[in-house]
Chain A
Amino acid sequence: MKLIARDIRKEMNGLLVLDGVSVQLDEGEFVTVVGPSGCGKTTFFNVLIGLATYDGGEIVYEGRGVENLRGLVAYMQQRDLLLPWRTLMGNVLIGPEIQGELNGETLTRAKELLSFFRLDSFSDMYPSQLSGGMRQRAALARTLMFGKDLLLLDEPLSALDAITRRKLQSYLLALSDRFGKSVLMITHDVEEALLLSDRIYVFSALPARVRRVIKVEMEKPRSIADRRFLELKEEILDELLEEVQNGS
Chain B
Amino acid sequence: MDRRNFYPVFILLALIAVWEFLVRLFEVPSYILPPPSGIFQTFAVNFSLLLRHTLVTLEEILLGIILALALAFPLALVMFFRKSLERAFYPLLIASQAIPVFALAPLFVYWFGYSILSKVLMAALIVFFPITLNLLQGIRDADRDLVDLLWVAGATKWQILWKIRFPWALPFLFAGLKIGVSVSTIGAVIGEWVGSEEGLGYLMLHANAQLRISLIFASILILSAIGLALFYGVELLERALLPWKRRDRKWEEKG
Among all A-B residue pairs, the 8 with the closest Cβ atoms: A71-B154, A126-B244, A98-B155, A85-B167, A49-B152, A75-B152, A85-B244, A98-B159
With the chains together, A222 CA to B245 CA distance in Å? 43
Query: Does A109 make an interface contact (CB < 8 A)?
Result: no
Residue in chain B with minimal CB distance to A72? B154
Query: Does B28 make an interface contact (CB < 8 A)?
Result: no
Interface residues of A in 38-74 (CB under 8 A from B): 49-51, 69-71, 73-74
What are 15 A-B contacts defined by CB distance under 8 Å?
A70-B154, A71-B152, A74-B153, A75-B152, A79-B145, A81-B145, A81-B146, A83-B146, A85-B244, A126-B244, A128-B248, A129-B248, A129-B251, A134-B253, A146-B153
Chain B interface residue count, Cβ-Cβ cutoff 8 angstroms: 27
With the chains together, A75 CA to B251 CA distance in Å? 27
Query: Does B32 make an interface contact (CB < 8 A)?
Result: no
Query: Does A94 make an interface contact (CB < 8 A)?
Result: yes
With the chains together, A71 CA to B155 CA distance in Å? 8
B159 & A51 in contact (Cβ 8 Å cutoff):
no
Contact with A along B161-202 (1 / 0, CB 8 A): 001100100100000000000000000000000000000000
Interface residues of A in 91-105 (CB under 8 A from B): 94-95, 97-99
Residue numbers in A under 8 Å from B154 (CB-CB): 70-71, 98-99
Residues of A contacting B: mostly: loop
A128 and B244 contact, Cβ closer than 8 Å, known pairs A74-B153, A97-B163: yes
Residue numbers in A under 8 Å from B143 (CB-CB): 81
Interface residues of B in 139-157 (CB under 8 A from A): 143, 145-146, 148-156
Query: Does A125 make an interface contact (CB < 8 A)?
Result: yes
Shortest beta-carbon distance from A106 to chain B in Å:
14
Shortest beta-carbon distance from A115 to chain B in Å:
16
Query: Does B252 make an interface contact (CB < 8 A)?
Result: yes
Residue numbers in A under 8 Å from B100 (CB-CB): none
A134 & B251 in contact (Cβ 8 Å cutoff):
yes
B251 & A122 in contact (Cβ 8 Å cutoff):
yes
Query: Does B242 make an interface contact (CB < 8 A)?
Result: yes
Task: State the B residues within 8 Å of A (CB).
Answer: 143, 145-146, 148-156, 159, 163-164, 167, 170, 242-244, 247-253
Residue numbers in B under 8 Å from A74 (CB-CB): 153
Residue numbers in A under 8 Å from B152 (CB-CB): 49-51, 69-71, 73, 75
A77 & B251 in contact (Cβ 8 Å cutoff):
no
Residue numbers in A under 8 Å from B170 (CB-CB): 85
A131 & B252 in contact (Cβ 8 Å cutoff):
yes
Residue numbers in B under 8 Å from A122 (CB-CB): 251
Q: Looking at the complex, which one of A70, A83, A94, A134 makes contact with B151 (CB distance below 8 Å)?
A: A70
Residue numbers in B under 8 Å from A133 (CB-CB): 253
Query: Does A230 make an interface contact (CB < 8 A)?
Result: no
Query: Does A84 make an interface contact (CB < 8 A)?
Result: yes
Residue in chain B with minimal CB distance to A98? B155
Query: Does A1 make an interface contact (CB < 8 A)?
Result: no
Shortest beta-carbon distance from A42 to chain B in Å:
12
Query: Does A16 make an interface contact (CB < 8 A)?
Result: no
Query: Does A224 make an interface contact (CB < 8 A)?
Result: no
Residue numbers in A under 8 Å from B252 (CB-CB): 131
Query: Does A12 make an interface contact (CB < 8 A)?
Result: no
B153 & A84 in contact (Cβ 8 Å cutoff):
no
Residue in chain A with minimal CB distance to B145? A81
B251 & A51 in contact (Cβ 8 Å cutoff):
no
B153 & A85 in contact (Cβ 8 Å cutoff):
no
Shortest beta-carbon distance from A173 to chain B in Å:
20
Q: Looking at the complex, which one of B156, B159, B164 makes contact with A83 (CB distance below 8 Å)?
A: B164
Contact with B along A116-144 (1 / 0, CB 8 A): 00000010011111110110000000000
A98 & B163 in contact (Cβ 8 Å cutoff):
yes
